[in-house]
């Protein structure tokens, strides 16, 4: 059941955060928010197949101690209405419309994986909307390697079925002892929320997202020099979904950016290294000189 709460109410933990809905051009969008109100919100944009329940509480909770955090299911995802569009540009248009429907004209964005592509597009098309940008485990339009995503995902789902593990164990983390432990701990954290769980992603949504990822991989590269907002790029050093080299390219092509690569980590490096990532995010968002911030 979705609840409506006043902006003055506060929630202490991600696992207890109620689900809200807002009408965006006739479509209902599901979202959750927590943390202190009044400042510039940090809007989270999620990965392929993810719904609200797939955000790591060890990332959300400590950030929300200092920042107003907003997470949402984009069109056709989880409990949101409509159908997932087949391009990242359309996903970005929906994300911008959702942000404005909540009454925000200036936000920070954190995009993970597919969400990082959406975040770039939102920033390029709506530069006045975005103050600072965080891109994690993601690539750039025209990166080419993104076209291999269906094969990579299919292989991981096969391994998951054979081992009865979550596919993200294979997609997000290295298959060494450290990576296996980090993956298991991450999956356990995602299960901490037991009430008001989101709807599972639909088959249509999965296919549409894969089409959008493939279109982006084959597309004409964007001129990322147009992104002048301070940008923090982060990834593991062994990302099997979106090559870590694409993170380096993002940091090279976005002029006002900095890069952090976590060692012995994969696509989910920010979750494996949440104790390093969260303080870096908070400092980046609060600093007068965010690119110079540690």
Q: In the prediction, which pLDDT does 146 show?
A: 63
Contact by Cβ (8 Å): 141, 219: yes
Query: Residue 243 contacts by C-beta under 8 Å, 6 or more apart in sequence?
Result: 139, 143, 145
Contact by Cβ (8 Å): 15, 63: no
Domains of the chain: 14-286 (3.40.50.1820)
Q: What is the DSSP string of 147-179?
A: GGHHHHHHHHHHHHHHHT--THHHHTS-SSHHH
Q: If pLDDT is split at 50, 70 and 90, which confidence band does 6 have?
A: very low
Contact by Cβ (8 Å): 116, 139: yes
254, two tokens: 């976005």
Q: Please, what is the angle between helix 57-64 and helix 177-190, to 10°?
A: 60
Residue 1 in this model has a pLDDT that exceeds 50: no
| Stated length of the chain | 294
Percent of the chain's residues with pLDDT above 90: 86
97-102 contact pairs (CB < 8 A, 24+): 97/24, 97/25, 98/22, 98/24, 98/29, 98/31, 98/72, 98/74, 99/43, 99/70, 99/129, 100/129, 101/22, 101/23, 101/24, 101/29, 102/22, 102/31, 102/70
Return the beta strands (E) in 96-219 as ranges: 107-112, 130-136
What is the tens place of the pLDDT at every residue in 141-170?
998 766 677 778 888 888 989 999 999 999
Q: Which residues pair with 31 in a beta bridge?
A: 20, 72
Measured CA to CA, the distance from residue 52 to residue 99 in angstroms comes to: 16
| pLDDT mean over 213-230 | 94
What is the tens place of the pLDDT at every residue in 24-79?
999 999 999 999 999 999 999 999 999 999 999 999 999 999 999 999 999 999 99
Q: In the prediction, which pLDDT does 186 show?
A: 98
Q: In the prediction, which pLDDT does 2 show?
A: 41
Q: If pLDDT is split at 50, 70 and 90, which confidence band does 174 have?
A: very high
Residue 8 in this model has a pLDDT that exceeds 70: no
Top mean-pLDDT range of 201-210, 257-266, 283-292: 257-266
Residue 3 in this model has a pLDDT that exceeds 60: no
Q: In the prediction, which pLDDT does 154 show?
A: 83
Residue 181 in this model has a pLDDT that exceeds 90: yes
Contact by Cβ (8 Å): 201, 77: yes
Residue 7 in this model has a pLDDT that exceeds 50: no
Measured CA to CA, the distance from residue 37 to residue 8 in angstroms comes to: 8
Q: If pLDDT is split at 50, 70 and 90, which confidence band does 292 have?
A: confident
Handedness of CA 137, 143, 149, 150 (dihedral sign): positive
What is the tens place of the pLDDT at every residue in 89-140?
999 999 999 999 999 999 999 999 999 999 999 999 999 999 999 999 999 9
Give the least confident one: 4-13, 108-117, 242-251: 4-13
């Amino acid at each position: 059941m979705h609840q409506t709460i006043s902006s003055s109410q506060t929630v202490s933990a991600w696992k207890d955060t109620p689900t809200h809905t807002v009408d965006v051009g006739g479509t209902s969008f599901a979202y959750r928010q927590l943390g202190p109100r009044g400042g510039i919100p940090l809007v989270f944009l999620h990965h392929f197949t993810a719904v609200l329940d797939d955000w790591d509480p060890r990332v959300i909770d400590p950030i929300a101690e200092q920042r107003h955090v907003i997470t949402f299911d984009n069109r056709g995802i989880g409990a949101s209405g409509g159908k997932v569009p087949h391009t990242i540009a359309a996903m970005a248009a929906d994300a911008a419309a959702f942000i404005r429907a909540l009454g925000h004209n200036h936000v920070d964005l954190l995009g993970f994986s597919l969400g990082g592509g959406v975040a770039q597009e939102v920033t390029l098309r709506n530069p006045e909307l975005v103050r600072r940008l965080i891109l994690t485990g993601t690539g750039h339009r025209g990166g080419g390697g993104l076209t291999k995503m269906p094969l990579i995902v299919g292989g991981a789902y096969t391994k998951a079925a054979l081992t009865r593990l979550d596919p993200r164990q294979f997609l997000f983390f290295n298959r060494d002892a450290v990576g296996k432990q980090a993956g298991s701990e991450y999956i356990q954290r995602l299960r901490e929320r037991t009430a008001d769980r989101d709807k599972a992603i639909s088959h249509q949504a999965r296919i549409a997202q894969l089409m959008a990822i493939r279109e982006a991989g084959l597309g004409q590269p964007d001129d990322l020099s147009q992104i002048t907002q301070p940008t923090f790029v982060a990834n593991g050093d062994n990302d099997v979904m979106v090559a870590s080299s694409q993170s380096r390219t993002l940091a090279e092509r976005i002029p006002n950016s900095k890069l952090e690569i976590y060692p012995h980590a994969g696509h989910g490096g920010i979750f494996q290294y949440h104790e390093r990532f969260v303080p870096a995010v908070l400092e980046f968002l609060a600093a007068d000189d965010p690119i110079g911030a540690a």
